[in-house]
Amino acid sequence: MPRSTLPAAGQSQPRGLSLMSPVFPSPRQMEWSDYVRVEARLQSWMLNVVSEPCVEKCWESLKVHCQMIVHKKALRDNRIELVRASWKELTISISDVTLSDEGQYTCSLFTMPVKTSKAFLTVLGVPAKPEITGLSRPAQEGEDVTLTCTTSGSKPAANIRWFRNDKEVQGQKEVNATGRSFTVRSNVRLKVDRKDDGAAYTCVVEHIALGSLPHQVTEVLEVHYPPQVQIVHSVIVPQEGQYFKLECVSKGNPLPEPVLWTKDGGELPDVERMIVEGRDLIITTLNKTDNGTYRCEASNQLGTNRDEFTLYVYGVMYSLIVPSSRSEQTRHPLATLSPRVLL
């Protein structure tokens, strides 16, 4: 017995189904053939009974009748319409195909003896677009979070896959029957940390009715975490008279703003030379009085963090370098002064 498959009615789903059979007697058993015509989406499904021709008066005299029957009931439904009737074929159309239209269809040709042929129609339930729940607010670092992806209306049950950015992760699948279709859920459980902030979790729903175009939905995690602070400097040996900058690199969500600079546990002593620009502390001209411990402190709603840097400013002196040989005196007739660092 032939079988045919098509999606049920719904958003962007097929609107009609056609059944076609001839209405003439045959000296042999009828043979059914079915085919699907696709125009963007499935438009119709037709059954065709192939037999030998008979005279037109068979139809006109009403001595021969063809009746389509499904589930042992004659087709009586406002959605069913007689599209074409002739001595060669009888065609009906079913609009707004639903899962309840699935079943065995029988065409009976009331001759002596009665001729019948059957075909089974399988209707696919197209899964609804998925939804991800479990992210009603930003998560906090260390919190246990469960992401749930749900899709309903599929037949057979849809398959769900999870991806973190571009890498697949495993979820726990749950399938529940709801009438003729299925509701499918998949859970991903994780303990979030700051590395998850900005990570994209994508739920992909695969199903035979969707072909190569699966449904998918993406949620981007927002994770709140306390500040992380580090002081960065570029000068290895700070010397008197130099320009010097300390950069306070602070990361956190929400972003800690502004940062607080202190020296030896108190305020900056020389605001004319010690300038705070954003997160940077700039000392325009170093001197020995700048020696000490500098602290950068950053805060947000989740906490406070800090880092320290101990500054030691080296002095500079000039020493006399005298050539030690006659050849060096020839090459270097004059003595030179070279700066040396005083510890």
What are the extents of the domains in the chain? 3-124, 131-221, 226-312, 315-343
In tens digits, what is the pLDDT along the chain, a chain of 343 residues?
555 565 665 544 444 444 444 443 333 322 233 322 222 222 333 444 333 332 222 222 223 334 555 545 556 678 877 777 666 676 777 788 888 888 887 777 777 788 777 878 788 999 999 999 998 789 999 999 999 999 999 999 999 999 999 999 999 999 999 889 999 999 999 999 999 999 999 999 999 999 999 999 999 999 999 999 999 998 889 999 999 999 999 999 999 988 999 999 999 999 899 999 999 999 999 999 999 999 999 999 999 999 999 999 998 755 445 455 554 444 444 333 444 444 4
E strands, 170-243, are 172-178, 181-191, 200-206, 215-220, 223-233
Is the separation of the CB atoms in 228 and 251 below 8 Å? yes
pLDDT at position 101, please? Answer: 83
**Do 226-312 and 131-221 have the same topology in CATH?**
yes
Q: Which CATH number fits domain 131-221: 2.30.38.10, 2.40.30.10, 1.10.3720.10, 2.60.40.10?
A: 2.60.40.10
pLDDT at position 58, please? Answer: 25
Q: Measuring CA to CA, which residue among 304, 258, 306, 307 is closest to residue 278?
A: 258
pLDDT at position 336, please? Answer: 36
pLDDT digits (tens, 9 = 90+) for 105-134: 777 777 778 877 787 878 899 999 999 999
Is the separation of the CB atoms in 138 and 223 below 8 Å? yes
- 3-state secondary structure at position 211: coil
d(CA 128, CA 335): 89
Q: Side chain identity at 215, as an amino acid letter? A: H
The gap between the terminal CA atoms of the chain, to the nearest Å, is 99
Fold of 3-124: Immunoglobulin-like (2.60.40)
DSSP symbol at 218: E
**Can you name the residues that pair with 124 across neighbouring β-strands?**
7
Is the separation of the CB atoms in 266 and 256 below 8 Å? no
pLDDT digits (tens, 9 = 90+) for 197-250: 999 999 999 999 999 999 999 999 999 999 999 999 988 899 999 999 999 999
Is the separation of the CB atoms in 211 and 230 below 8 Å? no
Percent of the chain with pLDDT over 70: 69
CATH architecture designation of domain 226-312:
Sandwich (2.60)
